[in-house]
Amino acid sequence: MMLSQAYRKLKEIDDKFHLLKQGRWQDIMEIGAHQGGWTQYAYKKARKILCIDWIIKNKIQKRNIRYIECDVFSLSFYRSFDIVLSDLCHNMSGDKYYDGRRLACFYQYIKNRLPTILKKGGCLVCKYFNYTNITMENFRTIKHIKLRSSKDRSSEMYIICKGYELN
């Protein structure tokens, strides 16, 4: 049973970009794990998943999943992950400029933290909106895509970054 449309979105991303490799036992950080759809898809392929969000509604009870309910800005990380996933979406105000700036600030924060949270060769997947200016550096490949599983009228986009190269 799928928990949400998010499950189908991560599956579509993984089918196209082959990020989650079963048997490789990757460590995954998921930021924005509120619904649990990405967690449900990823846990079977991961060694460990750290799920972070203010509130996490659908907690899957598996030994390899750890949940932290908090503001991601308040955390300090002292270990690296093979994959960082973010399907995070703050409460939208309807003002594209304001919402875009808030999301851009979040991704700037993540970008600044990559040297401490992402292993060399790692992958990053983030949701953003097409009115938000999102750029990433220090990856071998960077792709911006609109998913087939997203609603046609949605401005939702994803940035898929593979092959992280440390500064």
Q: For 45-98, how does the pLDDT look when each residue is reduced to its tens digit (9 = 90+)? A: 898 999 998 888 888 888 899 999 988 877 777 678 999 999 887 677 788 888
Q: What's the number of domains the chain is made of?
A: 1
Say if CB 34 and CB 53 are below 8 A apart. Answer: yes
**Percentage of residues in the chain having pLDDT higher than 90:** 41
Instruction: Grade residue 167 by pLDDT with cuts at 50, 70 and 90.
Output: low
Question: What span, in angstroms and rounded, lies between the C-alpha atoms of 36 and 41?
Answer: 9
Average pLDDT over residues 113-125: 93
Q: Which residue, among 71, 64, 56, has the nearest Cα to 3 in the 3D structure?
A: 56
What CATH number is associated with residue 144?
3.40.50.150
Question: What span, in angstroms and rounded, lies between the C-alpha atoms of 162 and 107?
Answer: 16
* pLDDT higher than threshold 70 for residue 1: no
Please report the pLDDT score of residue 166 as a whole number. Answer: 78
Per the structure, the complete domain to which residue 149 belongs is given by: 5-164
pTM for this entry = 0.89
